Amino acid sequence: MTRILNIEPLNYSDKARAILHSLGTLEESELTRAELIARIPEVDILIVRLSHQIGRDILDAAARLRVIVSATTGLDHIDLDYAAERSVTVLSLRGYTAFLRSVVATAEHTWGLLLALTRRIPWAFDSVRAGEWERDRFKGHDLRGRRLGICGLGRIGEHVSRYALAFGMTVFAYDPYRADDMQGVTRCASLQDLLAQSDVFTIHVPLNAETTRLIGTAELATLPRGALLINTARGDVIDETALIVALESGALAGAAVDVVIGERGDGLNPLIAYACTHDTLLLTPHLGGATYEAMEATEVFMAQQLATLLTGKNTP
């Protein structure tokens, strides 16, 4: 009997769970890393999201493992090269563009971060909770008439562009891998061109060798002084030290990020440490895709892909 282990079962879709039950014996348990390494030798299929880094230590212990299923587009939490070397198939959302266009959670979170940052909502709420009522202290800015620069005009960038147009913003985008244009969006010939025209700069690119540290000191200096930066892609896309320097100097008026480098590592990330003492940086714990609706849809979709892989038949 095929043994399936789901290590992130909290609020997991009942429909997806039913599909997994039809494929084998399902165990659901939140495990520490030591517990996972102890348990993985008996597992054929591992269901993950982002709670663990699936590296060599886990894969070396996984004597029976055939498939890793991750309902994510980013796969930096899995050592893909070593998984391939171990003949472990990795199933993910990557490449399923038609399906992903129906998933709007990360785009909506991007827009929520932008509104929260420009209107200073988190800090105003903290002030009210502290017993204060200081309206002028938290005066914000309009979005209408400002220039939004979108780095990566894929399915998330598309949704964000539509929100921006609805808010009366002027929208620019840079994406060297997209051939067609979008109505209302001006395409830029280079990243530098996009940066120079962005009052708000938002990042929607996959993490790979080309995009690692894509945004560093030079790129941040190209933005207009007082610009805002939003990142709901991956932490490694930005040089975090350069981001802190830009915030401290006032070159950036503010930033909101949903992702940081080493999210599953030990120690305090420098952005988290900075945000604890400054009100120009807003952080959320990788919530982009974390809505009940999005997670239900993606969990069911990935369970169906697993069923197709194992049985050779499409699962409704």
Annotated catalytic sites, by residue? 234, 263, 286
Identity of the residue numbered 264: R
Sheet architecture: strand order including 25-28: 25-28, 3-6, 45-48, 67-70, 89-92
Neighbouring residues of 22: CB distance < 8 A, sequence distance ≥ 6: 307
Neighbouring residues of 81: CB distance < 8 A, sequence distance ≥ 6: none
First to last CA, the chain: 23
Per-residue tokens: 299: 């969990």
Neighbouring residues of 37: CB distance < 8 A, sequence distance ≥ 6: 57, 58, 61
Alpha-carbon distance values, 76 to 81, 109, 234, 269 (Å): 11, 21, 9, 17
